[in-house]
């Protein structure tokens, strides 16, 4: 089951929800990536242009929080996901 993406990122919890949403869809990334550049093994885009724009907007909202703990949280979530654990 995939966690829904937040509508906006107002705090660390929203940033974690965004990360878990992407991981749940099998998308592993770096925050500085352009979501429009994400492709599968065959080179097909993982996101439609509109969705990539929404994810990019949410990434910008994470950056505006200016909270390094969001990135620490992201690493912790990635480790949990790699172990098959829930958020």
Mean pLDDT by 10 residues, the chain (87 residues): 88 92 86 91 95 96 92 80 67
Within the chain, strands assigned E span none
Grouping H, G, I as helix, E, B as strand and the rest as coil, residue 73 is helix
For residue 51, what pLDDT is reported? 96
Single pTM value for the model: 0.84
Handedness of CA 58, 2, 27, 87 (dihedral sign): positive
Residues 74 and 12: beta-carbon distance below 8 Å: no
What b/e readout covers 34-53, taking b as 16+ CB neighbours within 10 angstroms?
A: ebbebeeeeeeebbeeeebe
**Nearest in space to 5 (alpha carbons), one of 32, 34, 27:** 27
């Amino acid at each position: 089951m995939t966690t829904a993406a937040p509508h906006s990122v107002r705090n660390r919890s929203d940033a974690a929800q965004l990360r878990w949403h992407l991981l749940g869809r099998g998308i592993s990334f770096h925050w500085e990536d352009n979501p429009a550049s994400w492709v599968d093994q065959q080179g097909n885009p993982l996101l439609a242009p509109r969705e990539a724009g929404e994810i990019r907007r949410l990434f910008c909202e994470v950056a505006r929080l200016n909270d390094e703990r969001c990135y620490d949280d992201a690493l912790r979530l990635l480790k949990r996901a790699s172990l098959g654990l829930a958020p």
